[in-house]
């Protein structure tokens, strides 16, 4: 009898469960930070689970990795220096490589085990680590950012898990302040910002912090990821105030990806219309996230 994977009684999703049929367990282990599970599912391909929470599946990872990367990188004309916080599976790195203007990518991932297992089981994602621009730092992001010179990055992507484990401090004010300091004027932050169906209070807290910290603009965007709780996930796009010269706000994308396919797998989810649509919110979310 094949078992099921589900999150249940998790404080983030009380009374909610989502199950995937496990065809074959491919890896089970524990790092100093979290439990790591990889299994073959019936219809979503391989699945990565950390502490009982689905992080990505072969089938729908494109939605999350492409949107969290291209929403910021298609908002500024020519990003050169990019920082990824988290993202140890390599998927975001794979997407950044589509932007020919990028010259260097720092990635700060706290858990070496996630990097190692994704290299073994998710070659379509960990291909991102092969990019010669990538410099890997294994450690705590707050520490890394504290040591980053001011105004270093054109874009920072916080590809974090949920704030109930190693990623807890990645939703607190001091962290956002170190991000703002590390961005160059006019630089842009995109971070994982939970579901508007489930966590509007957490999102409101993050919006308040970001509106104080980033004087440029702060926008909430969202997309569909079937295997995430509620089937939707959000992103916070924050622009640091800076020179108005050819700086666009995150909601006015620069069309530069269609056609500009780098070596490697084609884009499966992102396009300019999806970019614009991501910032269109249902009425309840406008009330709770824009007009509160
Ligand atoms: N690169 C994939 C990272 C996954 N990001 C999170 C996974 C868990 C979800 N509840 C929230 C996004």
Task: Go through 49-59 and write b for each residue having 16 or more CB atoms within 10 A of its CB, e for each that does not.
Answer: bbbebbbbbbb
Mutate to test the pocket of ligand 1, among 63, 94, 191, 228 (most ligand atoms within 8 A of CB): 228
Q: What is the DSSP letter of 89?
A: T
279: its two tokens: 């910032």
246 Cα–ligand 1 center, Å: 32
Q: What is the ipTM of this complex?
A: 0.95
167 Cα–ligand 1 center, Å: 11
| Greatest mean pLDDT range, 49-53, 122-126, 158-162, 239-243 | 122-126
265 Cα–ligand 1 center, Å: 21
What pLDDT is attached to residue 262? 54
131 part of the active site:
no
Dihedral class, residue 253 (left if φ above 0, else alpha if ψ from -120 to 50, else beta): beta
DSSP, residue by residue, 29-46: EE-SS-EEEEEEESSS-E
Using one digit for the tens of pLDDT, what is the confidence trace for 145-180? 999 999 999 999 999 888 877 778 888 899 999 999
By alpha-carbon position, which residue is closest to atom 4 of ligand 1?
A: 55
Using one digit for the tens of pLDDT, what is the confidence trace for 51-110? 999 999 999 999 999 999 999 999 998 999 999 999 999 999 999 999 999 999 999 999
């Amino acid at each position: 009898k094949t078992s099921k994977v589900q999150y249940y009684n998790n404080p983030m999703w009380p009374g909610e469960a989502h199950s995937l049929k496990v065809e074959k367990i491919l890896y089970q282990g524990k790092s100093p930070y979290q439990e790591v599970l990889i299994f073959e599912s019936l219809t979503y391909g391989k699945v990565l689970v950390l502490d009982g929470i689905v992080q990505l599946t072969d089938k729908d990872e494109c939605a999350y990795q492409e949107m969290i990367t291209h929403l910021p990188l298609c908002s500024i004309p020519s990003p050169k220096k990019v920082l990824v916080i988290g993202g140890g599976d390599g998927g975001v790195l794979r997407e950044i490589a589509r932007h020919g203007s990028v010259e260097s990518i720092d990635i700060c991932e706290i858990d070496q085990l996630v990097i190692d297992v994704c290299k073994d089981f998710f070659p379509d994602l960990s291909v991102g680590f092969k990019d010669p621009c990538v410099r890997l730092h294994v450690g705590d992001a707050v520490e890394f950012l504290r040591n980053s010179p001011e105004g270093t990055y054109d874009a920072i992507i916080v590809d974090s898990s949920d704030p109930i484990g190693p990623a807890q401090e990645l939703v607190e004010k001091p962290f956002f302040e170190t991000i703002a300091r590390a961005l160059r004027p006019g630089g842009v932050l995109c971070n994982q910002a939970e579901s508007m169906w489930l966590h509007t209070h957490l999102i409101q807290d993050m919006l308040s912090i970001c509106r104080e910290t980033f004087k440029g603009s702060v926008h909430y965007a969202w997309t569909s990821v079937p295997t995430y709780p509620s089937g939707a996930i959000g992103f916070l796009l924050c622009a640091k105030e800076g020179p108005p010269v050819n700086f666009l706000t995150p909601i006015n994308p620069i069309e530069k990806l269609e056609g500009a396919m780098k070596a490697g797998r084609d884009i499966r989810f992102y396009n300019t219309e999806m970019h614009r649509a991501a910032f269109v919110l249902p009425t309840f979310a406008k009330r709770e996230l824009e007009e509160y």
